[in-house]
Structure 1
Amino acid sequence: MNIEKASIAIYVFSYNRAEYLENCLKSIDTHSYYRDITIIDDVSSDFSTVKLLKKLECGYRVVYSNETSCDHIRYGGLYNNMNWAIGDAQNRKLKRVLFIQDDMQLIRQFGPQEYNDIDHFFRNNRRSVQYYSCFLKSKHRNVDEQSLVPDLSCTAYICNSKFHPGFRFFSDVGVFDIDRFKLNFQYFEGDERDNNLKAINRNLVMGLSMRPFMMWLPFPESHRGKKRSVKHNLIESLGGAGFHPVDELEHSKINLLEKKLPFAEDFLHSPAIGQCRWWSTEGGLENLLARYGWRHILAKLIRKLERNNLFKSI
């Protein structure tokens, strides 16, 4: 394949997270061979984010969700913005897109070899619209070890269980093939669970990269500039929520990726997160659940009270 003709663009989805967005873009500038980058911001209201976006307009293509439109949906919101991005890529005659969110980053090179892996996967999997380029989280380690199998391309895993508790047939992020998507998926539904079910019902598979190159930042703050209750803030604080960038993947570990499932906890390092059962990337109570000892016990108690309507949901 002529890598110069590898028609792929990167779409970064942003909302009220200046520090995270800056880190995400820095990682792309450092590690990505592909330089066609569009930032889609969902009309951030946070002063620092607005200020950063104005600065970024000088070097990046920045689009705001109140400037986007799709015929069948309203303005704004992550999935509406994703639908707009697919349409934009189609209009620009792009072959593929990489979707990444502001609270993520590239942790190693995304270049011709990675693109060739992606291309090889799609050539061998006609019933796929997506290649998931992120590390896995250990939260579902036992199930993943039973249900993820190498596909024919030997560049990705596919899930053989429709009952997997995670989302293994669709993700909000990763590489999408535009023509395949328009033919087999048409448009994104309103949440990740519905999109995962849609993929299952249409007999689609998602490739989970054997050599992933991106990941969410662990234990994030979930407020995104919105006012949260004292209780919510306390729980996030106890869970160690904060801005936790991930170190670049050590070169010596890259060749080990193909030898076992790529769980983030086994390969990556984020210096300030402390000990944890798994990397939480959802914020809120999930941060507390992912910890050891009394914090994990407290989180389970709160969840039990929530289910019995004895405690307002976090």
Structure 2
Amino acid sequence: MFVIFGATGHAGRLTATRLREAGLPVRAVVRRADQAKELKATGCEIAFADLMDLASVTKAIEGAQAVQMICPVPSGHADPEHAMHTMIDVAAQALRANPPQHVLAISDYGAELDMNTGITRLFHYLERQLSASVPRLTLLRSAEHMQNWSRAIPVALATGMLPGLHHPLTKRFPSVAAQDVGALAATLLREGPPVTATRIVSIEAMVRVSPMDVARVIQQEAGREIVARELPRNQWFSVLTRGGLSAKHANLIVDLYDAHNAGHIDIEANVTGRRFGTTALADVLAPLVRQAVLDAQ
């Protein structure tokens, strides 16, 4: 049995789908009954769990041959760092008590760094806790997801300006489509446990992008001028909190982009398991732009 946490997300859903297409048994872990319909239609067994509840996580992994663990940053939480630490601790405790043959964790570029990298330091904690909890672990470090630009698209369409926290705007950075992460995760799970205790695999798209590239794609799809603009560093916190994030969440993002702009967040130099996604930026952004246009009408 392959147990997939985060099965309703872009990556987790693709992992579950690919494993089912291969005829493998999948238990998709969701939080609510309304999230289960499409997954059940593919033949997935459904388990309900709250990542902060040890009993439900323990029950979800019963009888698992392999587990894919995704601990999402809880965007609506007043203290997302504390909440994510709790989720990670719960997962580690459940996996220690009943370790499967293989655990694959979706992690982040820069997770190897023991320094203040904002959100990425949460994935450093994830890697550390799981490495000490399971006998065979694959860390799938993902570049920034292209889907993250969905939050900025409505602003760009309304104002003609795409605000950028990546400085300078011309700097190209690694990104990847979430579905490519999910597809690779399915492949790695099918390959089985690593030979060594921990295997590190990275994934990014074949072409690195800049905020100017993102603005160009939005402009082409929307049919109106969109210009990328550096959001001044002293405005980041206020813009993020006005957008609905808690102060602690905003600080995590500020610290993350400070680390990005300082050149700290990239593929780890000694990673040998480097993979590349095949989905282009335009393939991800075009439907997001079309939906944002419809929503604005």
Q: Could you state the TM-score of these two structures normalised by the residue count of structure 1? A: 0.36
Q: Could you state the TM-score of these two structures normalised by the residue count of structure 2? A: 0.38
Name whichever structure is richer in helix by fraction: 2
